[in-house]
Structures are given as structure tokens and as C-alpha cells.
């Protein structure tokens, strides 16, 4: 029996230290809810998780861009709807002005309303969305994914002669009213085409938005598999390590007491 070197105590202390470290790690995972509390836990998993998290962040940014573009197009369509109403009324005035039972004074009243509506149509062409012109006709590139790939949002132009020419149209005479009706009908056809383009923009952007949402859900699920702790499993592991620490502590106390037996031999 030796006194200076207690190999049993040393071995027990080493095992106790290992159990204590595992218990601390288990406690950290349970308290944080994360399977990886330090790079040493799973360095490769942490690297993959960081990439997934970064991609999700870019996807969210792209979603915001797409949502703003959808709002842009919806604003365009709202204005175009009002322009359509104005043009519909202008076409009615053009037909009414061709009524042979109407006097020139009647047509003058029609002309006044016609001019007011034509001015409204042209005023709409100057509107903007957060400083970006709604009706300049410029195509816009909308970022639609995490790699900043773009979708060409087709522009709407209300500054063409089909609309500006309405300012000089007249319904003051039957002949002028007939010519004005032709111009208004052409403008209506143009607006219908533009609203179809806007509708196509909204539909496509909505698809991109849904795609990004689905992708982010899948990326989040994949990241969860790497980072999120299984509480039931980890609770079981924590209970095991806790028992080992308590047992190791008791055994270390026993191992440290063994050299005291030497006193009996000296007695």
C-alpha cells in the first residue's frame, strides 16, 4: 500500500472531470435551446448553419423587395382603374356630343367636362411611388432571390400621344366629337393593355414571393436539424451525466479515504 501516489483517486478524479464537463455542456444546450453552444461542439455543422442563416437573411431581404414591387404595381393599377373610369366617361361625352338634338351650348358643357377629365388623365402620368415615377414607362429590375437575380418589371407609360393628345381633342362639334371618340377608344385599348401588363407583373412577383417564403421555411427546417436541441433526448443525457457526477464524487471521496487505512498498519 502506498501513500504518496493514489492512482485510484487520480483515475476517479479524471473521470469525474469528464463527467462534469459533459454535464455542463448538456446544461448549456438545455438552457440555450441550441445543440451547438460553441464551435467545438460541431464545427462543420456550425459552418453550414451560418451559411443557411445568411441565405435566409438574403431571402427575407429579397421578399421585402418583391413585396414593395407588388405594392408599386398595385398602386399603378389603382391609378389605371381611375384613368379607365375617366376615359369611359370621356367616350360617353363624345357620343353624347354627336346627338343632333344637342345645341352648341350643350356641347360646350360637354367640352368643359371632357377637358377636366383629360387633364386628370395627364396629371396621373406625373405620379410617383416613394420618388419613383409610376408612369414613365421605364422597366424596373426587381431582386427576386438571395443571389440578387432580377425580374424585369414592365413599365407603364402614360406620357404617349395617345393620352397627351386628349388635351387637344374637342367635342364642341359633331365632327370633333367623332374624332375625339376615336382617340378615346384608342386610349382605352392602350390602358387595357397596360393593366394586363401590370396584372402579369403582380402575378409573377406574387409567385416569386411565395417561392421565397417556401424556400425560407425549408432552410429554417434544415437549420433546425443542425442547431436546435432535442429537449427530450438532452434531458435524458443530462440526467445520466448528473448521476455520473454524483457517483464520481462519492467514489472520489472513497478513493481519497483509502490511504488512511495505512494508519491502521502503523498502529
> Would you give per-residue pLDDT tens digits along the chain (267 residues)?
556 677 888 888 888 888 888 888 888 888 888 888 888 888 899 999 999 999 999 999 999 999 999 999 999 999 999 999 999 999 999 999 999 999 999 999 999 999 999 999 999 999 999 999 999 999 999 999 999 999 999 999 999 999 999 999 999 999 999 999 999 999 999 999 999 999 999 999 999 999 999 999 999 999 998 888 888 888 888 888 888 888 888 887 877 777 777 667 665
Q: How far apart are CA 155 and CA 141, in angstroms?
A: 10
Model pLDDT, residue 258: 75
- Cβ(201)–Cβ(154) below 8 Å: yes
Q: How many CB atoms lie within 10 A of CB 214?
A: 10
pLDDT at 72: 97
Which residues does residue 128 pair with via DSSP β-bridges, in sequence order? Answer: 133
**pLDDT value of position 173:** 93
| pLDDT for residue 196 | 96
CATH fold, domain 61-227, is f41 fragment of flagellin, N-terminal domain (1.20.1330)
Kindly state the cell numbers that stand for 61: 431581404
In this prediction the pTM is: 0.80
> Quick one: pLDDT at residue 13?
84
Instruction: Please tell me the predicted confidence (pLDDT) of residue 163.
Output: 93
All cell numbers assigned to 37: 453552444
What are the cell numbers at 249? 464524487
What is the pLDDT at residue 50?
A: 94
Amino acid at each position: 500500500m502506498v501513500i504518496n501516489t493514489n492512482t485510484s483517486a487520480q483515475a476517479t478524479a479524471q473521470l469525474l472531470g469528464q463527467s462534469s464537463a459533459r454535464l455542463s455542456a448538456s446544461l448549456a444546450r438545455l438552457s440555450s435551446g441550441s445543440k451547438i453552444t460553441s464551435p467545438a461542439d460541431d464545427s462543420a455543422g456550425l459552418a453550414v448553419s451560418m451559411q443557411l442563416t445568411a441565405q435566409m437573411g438574403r431571402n427575407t431581404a429579397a421578399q421585402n423587395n418583391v413585396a414593395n414591387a407588388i405594392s408599386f404595381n398595385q398602386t399603378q393599377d389603382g391609378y389605371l382603374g381611375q384613368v379607365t373610369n375617366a376615359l369611359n366617361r370621356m367616350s360617353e361625352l363624345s357620343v353624347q356630343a354627336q346627338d343632333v338634338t344637342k345645341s352648341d351650348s350643350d356641347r360646350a358643357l360637354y367640352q368643359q367636362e371632357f377637358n377636366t377629365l383629360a387633364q386628370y388623365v395627364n396629371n396621373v402620368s406625373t405620379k410617383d411611388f416613394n420618388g419613383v415615377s409610376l408612369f414613365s414607362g421605364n422597366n424596373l429590375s426587381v431582386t427576386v432571390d438571395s443571389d440578387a437575380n432580377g425580374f424585369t418589371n414592365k413599365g407603364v407609360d402614360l406620357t404617349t400621344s395617345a393620352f397627351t393628345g386628349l388635351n387637344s381633342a374637342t367635342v364642341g362639334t359633331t365632327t370633333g366629337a367623332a374624332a375625339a371618340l376615336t382617340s378615346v377608344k384608342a386610349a382605352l385599348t392602350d390602358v387595357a393593355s397596360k393593366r394586363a401588363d401590370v396584372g402579369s407583373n403582380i402575378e409573377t412577383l406574387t409567385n416569386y414571393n411565395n417561392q421565397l417564403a417556401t424556400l425560407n421555411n425549408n432552410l429554417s427546417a434544415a437549420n433546425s436539424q443542425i442547431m436546435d436541441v432535442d429537449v427530450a433526448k438532452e434531458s435524458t443525457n443530462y440526467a445520466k451525466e448528473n448521476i455520473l457526477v454524483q457517483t464520481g464524487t462519492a467514489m472520489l471521496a472513497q478513493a481519497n479515504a483509502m490511504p488512511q487505512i495505512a494508519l491502521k498498519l502503523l498502529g
